[in-house]
Amino acid sequence: MVYITRRERFCAAHKLYNEEWTEDENLSIFGKCSNPNWHGHNYELYVTVKGVPDKQTGFVMNLSVLSKLIEEKILSKIDHKNLNLDVPFLSNIIPSTENLTITIWNELEKEIEKMGGKLHCIKLFETENNFAEYFGK
């Protein structure tokens, strides 16, 4: 079993904001991340797939195929977007780094399976100091 990882990047706006709370309550919990007029990040996304290398190609999965899949299913929908307003698969979800890893896992797991791969981990950097990882359970 070998684990291969593809890094992709996207830039997006968001705010951490619970609509059921007042602006002050949001400020007290989320700090400056609750700024009503948004802020944003350069996200780094690491998608890890596991499997046995194919004898003909040496590949667990063709990373060029994986890259196109991430582009089609994820990046085309969230790059240069507003994560609170523009992304169907994030509607009604607070776009914390944690929730983003779970949501991206859910969007990719079956698509990767169709290509013969097995998703192992979604890792997402919000900044160089903060990141989250999700392994599907």
| Nearer Cβ to a copy of itself (94/111) | 94
Count of positions on this chain that bind a copy of itself (CB under 8 A) = 62
Query: Which residues have a Cβ under 8 Å from the Cβ of 125 and sit 6 or more positions away?
Result: 43, 44, 45, 46, 131
Hey, which residues between 19 and 38 contact a copy of itself (CB under 8 A)?
Answer: 20, 29-33, 35, 37-38
CA distances from 93 to 65, 81, 84 (A): 29, 15, 8
Indicate if 44 belongs to the active site. no
Kindly calculate the radius of gyration of the chain based on its CA atoms and give it in whole angstroms.
Answer: 16
Distance CA 95, CA 110 (A): 22
Strand duo 130-134 + 39-51: pairing: unpaired
Residue 91 as a binder of a copy of itself (CB under 8 A): the answer is no
Hey, which residues between 101 and 130 contact a copy of itself (CB under 8 A)?
Answer: 101-102, 127-130
| Residues engaged in binding a copy of itself (CB under 8 A) | 1-9, 11-14, 16, 18, 20, 29-33, 35, 37-42, 53, 56-60, 62-64, 79-82, 85-86, 93-99, 101-102, 127-135, 137
